[in-house]
Copies of this chain bind each other. A is one copy, B any other.
Amino acid sequence: MTAKLIKGTEIGEQILKEITAEVAEIKGKYGIVPGLVTILVGSNPASISYVTLKIKTAHRLGFKEIQDNQPVDISEKNLLALIDTYNKDNSIHGILVQLPLPKHIDEKKVLNAIDPDKDVDGFHPVNVGRLMIGGEEVKFPPCTPAGIQELIVRSGIETSGAEAVVVGRSNIVGKPIANMLFQKGRGADATVTVVHTRTKNMAEHCKRADILVVAAGVPGLVKPEWIKPGACVIDVGVNRIGEKPSKDDPKKMVPILKGDVDFEAAKEIAGSITPVPGGVGPMTITMLMKNTLKSLKFKLGIQ
């Protein structure tokens, strides 16, 4: 048996098309588009590349997008004042501060200064709390877990009553996806087990899983024999295990990526599985855009 591939590139593309259509419709009806600002402090190359991708995607969807670049020596006070300006700006519905920030700035203080109703990353304690409370309380589920849930739902995987096992307990993936999967409702109602470094029999737990979400950051952690035949396997790991020449330009080296699951062997046992790259990865920016659209819709009272 070879598992069905859950392609985040394709599912993400479909969602981006839906967002584009909705943006156009809202623009026609209300004369406003989602506004997203990305604040970049300094010129870390990786940060520039992330921000550029976000801005490019926002632009393509018809969003208003602002790339606000600030010098690396901006004071914390001035950065907080800048956030306050965007908090008050009615044309802005999502505020992103690209991490990491320079060491003289308190990251937590800066992130917590973002208006929770514009915190489209979903990491502000208020939004984390809303996520755990569940139901109508939820505004902005964090982007990677929200992407995982979409991949599961759009692949036709039944979550209600399913055994879901989450490997890893990070604040970015493990904890929020666990909380999302055991809530009531669509793409949820699962029986959820969270396993982690202190778990004694990780393999046994994974073997029970109808839905296995792996976000441990350990390349090849999950062995094929840990997978229940027919299970849905979501591999969130993006581990750089080396470099190889780029296909486009053989003189340029690109990272070799490996997931937390031994993909080649696992795909012969699982019912469906995400590849790395091209699985969960592309969903994060997609869901960020969806959250920004949601923010506008909350403001317009149409969601």
Q: Give the interface of A toward B (CB within 8 A).
A: 124-134, 137, 160-161, 163, 169, 171, 175-176, 178-179, 182-184, 189-196, 198-200, 205
Contacts and interface: CB of A to CB of B under 8 A. Distances in A.
A212 to B, nearest CB: 14
A198 B194 contact: no
A194 B169 contact: no
B182 A194 contact: yes
19 contacts: A125-B129, A125-B130, A125-B133, A126-B126, A128-B129, A128-B133, A132-B176, A132-B179, A134-B171, A134-B175, A160-B198, A161-B198, A169-B182, A169-B184, A178-B194, A189-B196, A191-B194, A191-B199, A193-B194
A130 B125 CA distance: 6
A191 B198 contact: yes
Contacts of A131: 129, 132
Copies of this chain present: 2
A129 B139 CA distance: 13
Contacts of A133: 125, 128, 171
Nearest to A190: B198
Contact of A192 (B129, B137, B193): B193
B196 A193 contact: no
A133 B133 CA distance: 14
A192 B137 CA distance: 24
Nearest to A199: B191
A128 B163 CA distance: 25
A184 B163 CA distance: 24
B196 A182 contact: yes
A85 B268 CA distance: 64
Nearest to A139: B125
A160 to B, nearest CB: 6
Nearest to A112: B126
B198 A189 contact: yes
Contacts of A171: 132-134
A191 B200 contact: yes
Contacts of A137: 125
A124 B125 CA distance: 10
A175 B125 contact: no
A48 B200 CA distance: 47
A200 B192 CA distance: 12
A140 to B, nearest CB: 12
